[in-house]
Structures are given as C-alpha cells and as structure tokens.
C-alpha cells in the first residue's frame, strides 16, 4: 500500500512537542520528508534524531520574517505547510496587558500569515500544495479569559479563506483545523504550571473526554494528502462535540 504522503516535503511549525510533534511523526510514517520548525532547539533536534533521515530540525521563530526567509531558503521544494505553532494566554479582558495580547497575536496570527506568504513561491513552483492552519474552537465561538487567543484564532480562520480563494488557481489548497480541548503542555503552561483537571472540564463535551494530539495529527494528514484534493477554504472541527451545543445545555 502506498504511503499517503510519499514524495511530499512538509514543514511543521511548533513541531518540537505536542500537536506539532504528533503531526511530524505521522508525516514521516506516511512517507513524507519533514522539516521540524520550532524555537525549542533541544527538543526539536532530539525529535529529528528520533525520526531519522526523513526529518531535520530548523530553528524558527514564526513571528520573524528573517527566520522564515532562512527556513524556506534551505528548501528545494515544499508541498505541505502546517502552521501549528501557537501560545495560549488566560486573562480577563480588563486585566490583559497589551504586551501579552501582542505576544499571542505575533506568534499565532502573524506567524501564520508569514508562513503562508513564505510558502507560496515554493508551492507555485511545485505546481500546488496544501497549507493547514491550526485554529481552534476559539476560532468559531467565544470562551472567557481568552481575548487574545480568540482574536488570533478567528484571524487564522479568516486568513485561511482569503488564501484559499487567492491560491486555488495555483493548485494550492488552504484549510483550517479547529481542535477542542487537547491534552498538551500548552494549557498547563498558560495556567502557570498548575496541574489542571482536564477531565472535569472535558466531561462537558459530547464524547466526555479531552482529545489527544495524535487524533488531530490524523486529521492534518488527511488535509496534507491527496485524499482531500477537493477541500479548500474549509473548517475542519475535531472537538469531541464541544461546538455541537449551546449555552443552555446543562448536561
């Protein structure tokens, strides 16, 4: 059976751990060559070594134009870009510092914009490609304490649609993925290192559990592969049913 991503070259941001690492592992398993991009150099290099010859590590601050230029300059082709890098910040609107708001926007929103822009020339040369932008359920609806994060994820959703409309003529597909509560270190870090009982919160969704990074990776592989060849400008939700209800549901 042919590997689903055979002969494809991919770049995954935020690939050192969490959802990015899960996607990178699945990409290599499906035959892709993968550039693991992150600012966590030690973890990124270790994962690249684990994955073998099909993977290499690239230091990349996604909010830096210079870093993006350096990343794509070292590539002879790019078939798949996964804009996964992101940060989370909890704060009531009235207490949110401008610096914290701008940090989230620069990484989540500006990083996605710079990534898409950097990918276009290589993908046009290749005759097409797939860009997968990681948004969130917070890119579909609101949650308290997440003004900056929600703003960035709504922006990713909108930019995805604009890019899909512009780039379809070149065979470049652009889609957004909207995970719900996924059990990764990002939530713990945003909470200041405090251990959170995710299961207590996750029991409120239809599937009564938090999601796993590998479940999001499976969806990203589908969008990266030719199996999704007629999918562009769309929102793919993997949230355990979180967005299937409304605020009056108390079950």
| 149: annotated active-site residue | yes
pTM value? Answer: 0.95
pLDDT value, residue 222: 98
Query: Stretch 112-139: mean pLDDT, rounded?
Result: 98
Q: What is the dihedral of CA 25, 30, 36, 42, to 10 degrees?
A: 30
Average pLDDT of the segment spanning 16-41: 98
Domain residue spans of the chain: 9-240
* Averaged pLDDT for residues 133-149: 96
> pLDDT tens for residues 194-203?
566 777 778 8
> In this structure, are residues 227 and 218 in contact, taking their beta carbons and an 8 Å threshold?
no
Q: Write out the two tokens for 19.
A: 């959802």
Angstrom distance (rounded) from CA 119 to CA 114: 9
**Which parts of 199-249 are beta strand (E)?**
235-238
Residues forming a β-bridge with 177: 134, 236
**pLDDT single digits (tens) 149-191:** 999 999 999 999 999 999 999 999 999 999 999 987 766 665 5
SS3 15: coil
Does position 193 have pLDDT exceeding 70, yes or no?
no
Mean pLDDT of the chain, nearest integer: 94
- Token pair for 150: 């929600």
Region of residue 31 (phi > 0: left; psi between -120 and 50: alpha; otherwise: beta): left
Work out the average pLDDT over 63-88. 97
Q: CA dist 245 to 135, 142, 149, 154, Å?
A: 19, 13, 21, 19
Q: Which fold has domain 9-240?
A: Rossmann fold (3.40.50)
Average pLDDT, integer, range 87-116: 97
The catalytic residue among 57, 101, 149, 170 is 149
Query: 53: which DSSP letter?
Result: G
């Amino acid at each position: 059976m042919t590997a689903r991503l055979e002969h494809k070259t991919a770049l995954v941001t935020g690939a050192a751990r969490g959802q990015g690492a899960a996607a990178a592992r699945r990409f290599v398993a499906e035959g892709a060559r993968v550039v693991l991009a992150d600012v966590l150099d030690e973890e990124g290099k270790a994962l690249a070594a684990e994955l073998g010859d099909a993977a290499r590590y690239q230091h990349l601050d996604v909010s830096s134009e210079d870093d993006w230029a350096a990343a794509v300059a070292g590539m002879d082709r790019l078939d798949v870009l996964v804009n996964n890098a992101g940060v989370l910040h909890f704060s009531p609107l009235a207490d949110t510092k401008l610096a914290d708001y701008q940090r989230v926007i620069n990484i989540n929103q500006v990083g996605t914009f710079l990534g898409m822009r950097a990918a276009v020339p290589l993908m046009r040369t290749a005759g097409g490609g797939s860009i997968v932008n990681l948004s969130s359920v917070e890119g579909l609806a609101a949650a308290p304490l997440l003004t900056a994060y929600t703003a960035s994820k709504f922006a990713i959703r909108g930019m995805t649609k604009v890019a899909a409309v512009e780039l379809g003529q070149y065979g470049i597909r652009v889609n957004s993925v909207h995970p719900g509560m996924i059990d990764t270190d990002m939530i713990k870090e945003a909470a200041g290192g405090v251990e959170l009982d995710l299961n207590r919160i996750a029991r409120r969704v239809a599937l009564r559990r938090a999601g796993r990074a590998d479940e999001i990776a499976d969806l990203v592989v589908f969008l990266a592969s030719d199996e999704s060849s007629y999918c562009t400008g769309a929102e793919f939700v993997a949230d355990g049913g979180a967005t299937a209800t409304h605020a009056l549901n108390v079950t």
